[in-house]
Amino acid sequence: MKFYLISDNIDTQMGMRLAGINGVVVHEPDEVKNELEKAVNDKDVAIILMTEKLVKLCEDLVYDIKLNYKSPLIVEIPDRHATSQITETINRYVSDAIGLKL
């Protein structure tokens, strides 16, 4: 099982590559969706790392995969330009999954 990165900048890709994680750099919503679908259908990929900006481009698809697929796990990572709001993201997942607002 392996990690796979879908990033919007080369700096993040290079850093992950140094850690042994392969991935792609994309910028348009269609590119993100295509790469995400490829990664989801690759049985060797266990964890998909996505930058915050790209998750926002395809929120509906990402949340659908997170809520309805057992594998792979999608992890939203901040890049050098992003500000992580992980608490809001977790609250949204809980709200979507069980219908309870925190």
pLDDT tens sequence across 25-66: 999 999 999 999 999 999 999 999 999 889 989 899 999 998
> pTM of the entire structure?
0.77
Dist CA 77 CA 86 (whole Å): 9
The predicted-structure confidence for 65-89, as pLDDT tens digits, reads as follows 988 888 899 998 876 665 656 566 6
Strands (DSSP E) contained in the chain are 2-7, 23-25, 45-51, 73-77
- Per-residue model confidence (pLDDT) at position 81: 63
